[in-house]
């Protein structure tokens, strides 16, 4: 057994965004903060659009319907930015 293997799956419970960060509060008590520029659709969204999200399933993902952005908790934990962020440079 891999000692780094997750014993329980953490789920998103709450999401906040600052001008520079996406913050996801997890069911196991952790807070994941990643640069907002990792997700160009979020980076270019209005504050109102950023607050209009839906937690999917038990909390496996987060979806912003107005800007069509879908992020998985597993992807955040793995440190995976959006494919769009690697396709073009975004100035912060």
Whether domain 12-78 has CATH 3.30.2020.40 = yes
pTM, whole model, 2 decimals?
0.84
Instruction: Give the pLDDT confidence of 27-71 residue by residue, as tens digits.
Output: 999 999 999 999 999 999 999 999 999 999 999 999 999 999 999
The residues spanned by each domain of the chain are 12-78
**pLDDT for residue 90 is more than 80:** no
For the chain, the distance separating the N- and C-terminal CA atoms, rounded to the nearest angstrom, is 41
Distance between CA atoms of residues 51 and 18, nearest Å: 10
| CA gap 29, 85 in Å, rounded | 28
Q: pLDDT at residue 20 above 80?
A: yes
Q: How far apart are CA 68 and CA 53, in angstroms?
A: 10
State phi, psi for 38 to the nearest 5 degrees. Answer: -65, -20
More confident residue, 85 or 44: 44
Q: Is 14 helix (H, G, I), strand (E, B) or coil?
A: strand
């Amino acid at each position: 057994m891999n000692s780094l293997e997750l014993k329980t799956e953490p789920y998103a419970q709450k999401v906040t965004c600052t001008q520079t960060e996406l913050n996801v509060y997890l069911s196991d008590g952790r807070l994941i903060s990643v640069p907002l520029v990792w997700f160009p659709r979020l980076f270019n969204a209005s504050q109102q659009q950023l607050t209009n999200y839906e937690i999917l399933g038990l909390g496996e993902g987060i979806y912003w319907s107005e800007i069509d952005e879908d992020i998985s908790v597993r992807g955040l934990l793995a440190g995976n930015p959006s494919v769009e962020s690697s396709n073009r440079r975004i100035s912060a």
